Amino acid sequence: MAVAIILLLVAVASVLFHIYSPWWWTPIASNWRYIDDTINITFWITGAVFFAVIAFMAYCVFRFHHKEGRRAAYNPENKKLEWWLSIGTGIGVAAMLAPGLIVWHQFVTVPADATEVEVMGQQWQWSYRLPGKDGRLGTSDARHVSSENPMGLNLDDPYGKDDVVIQDDLHLPVGKPVKVLLRSIDVLHDFYVPEFRAKMDMIPGAVTYFWFTPTRTGTFEVLCAELCGVAHAQMRSKVIVQEEREYHAWLEKQRTFAELSEQRGVAKAAYKADSE
Amino acid sequence: MSAIILYMAGLAAIAGWWLSQQRLAAKPWLEEGVIADSRGEALPSAKVGLGVFLAVAGSLFALLISAYSMRINMADWRTLPVPRLLWFNTGVLVVSSVALQWAYMAARRNDLEDVIVGLLAGGASAVTFLIGQLLIWQQLNVTGYFLASNPANAFFYLITAAHGLHLIGGLVALGRTTAKVWRGVEMIRLRLSVELCAIYWHFLLLVWLVLLGLLTGWTDDFVDICRRLLT
Amino acid sequence: MVDIPYQEVTGIPPAEVADVELYHPRSWWTRYVFSQDAKVIAVQYSITAMAIGMVALVLSWLMRLQLGFPGTFSFIDPSQYLQFITMHGMIMVIYLLTALFLGGFGNYLIPLMVGARDMVFPYVNMLSYWVYLLAVIVLAATFFVPGGPTGAGWTLYPPQAILSGTPGQDWGIVLMLASLILFIIGFTMGGLNYVVTVLQARTRGMTLMRLPLTVWGIFTATVMALLAFPALFVASVMLLLDRLLGTSFFMPTLVEMGQQLKYGGGSPILFQHLFWFFGHPEVYIVALPAFGIISDLISVHARKNIFGYRMMVWAIVAIGALSFVVWAHHMYVSGMHPYFGFFFATTTLIIAIPTAIKVYNWVLTLWRGDIHLTVPMLYALAFIITFVNGGLTGLFLGNVVVDVPLSDTMFVVAHFHMVMGIAPIMAVFGGIYHWYPKVTGRMLNEALGKFHFWVTFLGAYAIFFPMHYLGLLGVPRRYHDIGETAFIPASAHDLNAFMSVAALIVGFAQLVFVFNMIWSLMKGKEAGGNPWGATSLEWQTPETPPGHGNWGKELPVVYRWAYDYSVPGATRDFVPQNEPPAGLMAQGVHP
Ligand code: HEM
Ligand SMILES: [Cu+2]
Ligand SMILES: [Cu+2]
């Protein structure tokens, strides 16, 4: 009796916890509402199965626990019941998988008008780069990294000269799809902004990507979601989503790669001249 | 990962075939009494054990091949020249396998002398093969193909080492079989030991031929041809 | 009464496999230490696994203390936290659960349940244990080497695993890989035994469909482990070469702390493929034996045959096969080709169907049963709850696009603890309470057992159920401290503190269990040969604990499946597998 009640209580408490939990996903700030919807569908289906199984079990314990003189039924199998249960399960699984795959298809199909943004991870900081006037990002390689060229841009690539190298946080215009190109120059990292829902690992030696459209303005915290060494938890940054106008005002103030290298070159020359 | 998937599919087919012989659809609660066991003809446990071990070793090599064929696509791969000695070694390994097969056939004829000759010839040629492989390593090292200088080299050393270590393990078993001859163990039990050695040798020969195809790039050409035929 | 030889009665030939020549120990050393008796090896495996498991348990306390009360325990710094999770995860998954289920339960139960005298290759079986012990010692040694154990996470992903930004770069990672390589070698020796024993040494009448599900579970898991561990082996060897000899199997061109390293061109993704080709089957390697054990516990303690035995067997085989084609569901956000997502999400969710069938059949076995709420039965019920819970959250993570926001958060940590941490541990405890009387001849104390059960089950559920919601919120895993993060409310810290307190309580309850094991060894109630009234062969041995060779002079003969409980018309509510049918009894055949 007591056991049956406790088992049932576990199921009831789980459901109540789910309903009243103050810990829930962050308010969404991207177009990936579909992902949230798929999670919700999954919660409904799995929640029902969970409760049904536990409640049935609790009932059995309550109804059939050992008493003097009780003898169990002899019932090796019931093909029909097993088939129905399998088919029902199959339908439930399909009901979760189908929306999942449809949304995944959207997730991996980048719209043609998405603007590119590059995020580079390294132990333990983030750097960002935007394509310049030509709309294209220059190539890069970890081999080119040096103190003058911390992002490892390919100096011979003309497309790279006008790339905008961002010195602190990333700004994005609201409502415009972005394709986030991800790379790393040392270990795996993962560019993770909970409000955007999307994330992807960054792999040294390769460029990965995901896309999304910011849907509301605000400041969002960037975390690293792939273990990258001791300071993994401290690898933070911010993404600031702004109205188009403010965004452009900010963009005006940013420097291109060429300008920055020149500046560095000048500084270096000055330093050399000083020390000579 | 296609090599290992293919390999697993092969194993699954064998397992499926075996399970299909096991009356898995029987309703055991209806079958009281002793049922004649469907274990098929009696195989010695040692032989079954060897079979299972070969499946495991095969999985190891299939995984190495998978890793190889994924890594080869990266930009920094520089295929290394095929050392001539490799062909000689392959020949020696074939001889070794043939010698053990011969020993096994002699064991079936109860011809102890030929068994001894076969075992010794098999062992000697296997040792020759290993020495040959070491010589290849040395040649590669002298000509500047170091382990760490290119992934192609690294894989070459790794794969030949894995194969060589398996052969060394086999030599231990072969040594124990030879010792049995010395101790004058009866022929029936000897026959099994010799047979197991022969099977293991054939397996390693087969693996070696596959690896050789991989390391010399033939497999690539072959896959290419297949692809062209299909499209 | 005349004794008629079996052949004449049954018309079947004598056992095809000659009675094994048993190895007979000649001294105390070969009887209890370097023993080739599977039962002794099983106990050695179990004790070693539980001892190293205690280390992992203590590490989990330390991690929980840090997470619940960040900053309070100054002796836990970020790099130590990483070392703790790595060692905790690796020990729990491989050195505790895999070793305990296969080396412990497998060694003890397989020969007894199939009616054999011992494993078929006892010497190799003994070596298996000693190599395992060596692996454990090498692993434990990493706590004492300069730099300490590796902090690469149990997944050991390169490049990070072998670079200096990760603790334990000098010795920790090298010894960890060496230990894994040893473990795999040792396991392969044992695994060959378990598989071949089931194939070859079944006693007369023991067809595959008469095997208890425990044997099916352990057998299938062993086959999977034999085929999957080589992937970890290859990955470990290659990573070790990258670390020690500077090859670039996995290492790309990279700049570490402003320094160009000499690596180049390698593929970190390749490692992940190899790791998960092992890693996913590994989940089922600890789950399938648990499935088997739970099926038997439910059946025995509900005095009812397992419902749908055939489906249960087919499901085990189907799960075993399918689990080799789902590995990349751990890599949805790894940057592999996005189109793999479609394939792997589909295969992953398909596995849910045979798994669900197993769950239905367990609860349907309870239906109209005669449920004895013994400690093993309680553990079986708890297993179902935790396994269903963890299995269902697996449907979130397997459904590729849902995994995108949830991967690498505490949701994942909660999920795998439920499904491959707590649930298998429930099966382990249930199994121990169930078979302890056979191993020692004495019952474990029931009151202590119930106390241990309730605290462990409810406590563990209280740790890991709420944890999912931290993951939904967006708390990443492997963070020693979530710190000042705008989207994390203060109440999340309270929840963390609550989970930590629960973890400490659960941890201390395990001391009760250890005490019970030791105390009952001397003071426990005498069990007799078959205290639960079970049908399978291990309960029908002439002596308890079973003697050397298990069966006395004659091997048992099997006349029925393992689930003849409450058969209509039978006098007792169970009929042992080796009890001859009435017709044969009349002719004078004895069980
Ligand atoms: C009461 C028991 C346990 C507690 C309190 C506990 C606690 C923890 C904690 C706090 C973490 C680190 C989470 C993070 O920061 O990412 C962790 C990780 C882990 N635990 Fe447990 N654990 C327990 C039992 C188990 C068991 C039985 C297993 C067996 C499968 C297990 C397997 C793992 C694994 C594989 C990891 C991941 C390590 C990594 O991220 O590399 N744990 N556990
Ligand atoms: Cu990180
Ligand atoms: Cu998996």
Evaluate whether residue C5 is within a structural domain.
Answer: no
C164 and C298 fall within a common domain? no
Closest CA to A42 of C343, C468, C326, C417: C468
Query: Two tokens at C375?
Result: 């400690």
- Residue B38 pLDDT level (bands cut at 50, 70, 90): low
**Residue of higher predicted confidence among C586 and A65:** A65
CATH number at residue C439: 1.20.210.10
Q: Whose CA is nearest to atom 40 of ligand 1?
A: C153
pLDDT in tens, A240-268: 999 999 999 998 888 888 777 777 766 66
Q: Domain total for chain C?
A: 3
Owning domain of residue B155: 2-230
Decide if C578 contacts C228 (C-beta within 8 A): no
C248 and C396 fall within a common domain? no
pLDDT of amino acid C128: 95
Question: What architecture is domain A115-272?
Answer: Sandwich (2.60)
Domain boundary residue among C506, C527, C548? C527
pLDDT of amino acid C588: 64
C487 and C558 fall within a common domain? no
C292 and C214 fall within a common domain? no
Q: Is A263 on the interface with C (CB under 8 A)?
A: no
Q: Is A27 on the interface with B (CB under 8 A)?
A: no
Mean per-residue pLDDT over chain B, rounded? 88
| Residue ranges around ligand 1 (CB below 6 Å) | C 60, 63-64, 67, 85-86, 88-89, 92-93, 97, 153-154, 413, 417, 420-421, 425, 460, 463, 477-478, 503, 506
pLDDT in tens, B145-178: 888 888 889 999 999 999 999 999 999 999 999 9
Q: Whose CA is nearest to atom 27 of ligand 1?
A: C421
Three-class HEC string of C180-209: HHHHHHHHHHHHHHHHHHHHHCCCCCCCHH
Show which of residues 34-93 on chain A sit within 8 Å of chain B, judged by CB atoms.
Answer: 76-77
DSSP E strands in chain B: the ranges are none
Decide if C419 contacts C466 (C-beta within 8 A): no
Decide if C333 contacts C408 (C-beta within 8 A): yes
C341 and C295 fall within a common domain? yes
Pocket test for ligand 1, best of C50, C80, C87, C88 (most atoms within 8 A of CB): C88
Chain A hits for C364, Cβ within 8 Å: 81
C356 and C213 fall within a common domain? no
N-term to C-term CA, chain A: 91
Chain B hits for C321, Cβ within 8 Å: 12, 15
C508 and C590 fall within a common domain? no
State percent of chain A over pLDDT 90: 58
Does residue B40 carry a pLDDT above 70?
A: no
Owning domain of residue C129: 33-266
Closest CA in chain C for residue A88: C353
Over residues A166-189, the mean pLDDT reads 91
Burial C323-339 (b: 16+ CB within 10 A, else e): bbbbbbbbbbbbbbebe
Chain C hits for B8, Cβ within 8 Å: 227, 324
C146 and C112 fall within a common domain? yes
Under DSSP, the state recorded for B28 is G
Contact A205 C389 (CB under 8 A): no
Query: Two tokens at A193?
Result: 């902004």
How close A37 comes to chain C (CA, Å)? 9
The domain ranges of chain A are 2-65+77-108, 115-272
Closest CA in chain A for residue C453: A3
C318 and C406 fall within a common domain? yes
Of B8, B38, B74, which is closest to C324 when you measure between CB atoms?
B8
Evaluate whether residue C494 is within a structural domain.
Answer: yes
Q: Whose CA is nearest to atom 6 of ligand 1?
A: C60
Picking from C271, C402, C561 by the largest number of A CB atoms within 10 A of its own CB, the best residue to mutate is: C402
| Residue ranges in chain A assigned as alpha helix (H) | 2-20, 33-64, 79-108, 158-161, 244-252, 257-275
Report the nearest atom of ligand 1 relative to the CA of C154. 41
**Residue of higher predicted confidence among B52 and B218:** B52
CATH number at residue B188: 1.20.120.80
Chain C hits for A56, Cβ within 8 Å: 363
pLDDT of amino acid A160: 80
Three-point CA angle C170, C174, C176, nearest 5°: 120
C411 and C303 fall within a common domain? yes
Record the pTM.
0.94
Over its length of 591 residues, how does chain C's per-residue pLDDT go in tens digits? 334 344 434 444 444 444 455 667 777 777 778 888 899 999 999 999 999 999 999 999 999 999 999 888 878 888 999 999 999 999 999 999 999 999 999 999 999 999 999 999 999 999 999 999 999 999 999 999 999 999 999 999 989 999 988 999 989 999 999 999 999 999 999 999 999 999 988 888 888 999 999 999 999 999 999 999 999 999 999 999 999 998 999 999 888 887 888 888 888 999 999 999 999 999 999 999 999 999 999 999 999 999 999 999 999 999 999 999 999 999 999 888 888 989 999 999 999 999 999 999 999 999 999 999 999 999 999 999 999 999 999 999 999 999 999 999 999 999 999 999 999 999 999 999 999 999 999 999 999 999 999 999 999 999 999 999 999 999 999 999 887 888 888 889 999 999 999 999 999 999 999 999 999 999 999 888 899 999 999 999 998 889 888 888 888 999 999 999 998 888 888 999 988 887 776 666 665
Cis status of the peptide bond prior to C532, with omega within 30 of 0: no
Indicate the burial class of C555 (C-beta count within 10 angstroms; 0-12, 13-18, 19 or more).
buried
Contacts of A42 (CB under 8 A, 6+ apart): A96, C395, C396, C399, C402
Of C333, C350, C483, which is closest to A200 when you measure between CB atoms?
C333
Decide if C78 contacts A230 (C-beta within 8 A): yes
Question: Ligand 1 centre and the CA of C291: distance in Å?
Answer: 21
pLDDT in tens, A51-64: 999 999 999 999 99
Q: Domain total for chain B?
A: 1
pLDDT of amino acid C590: 61
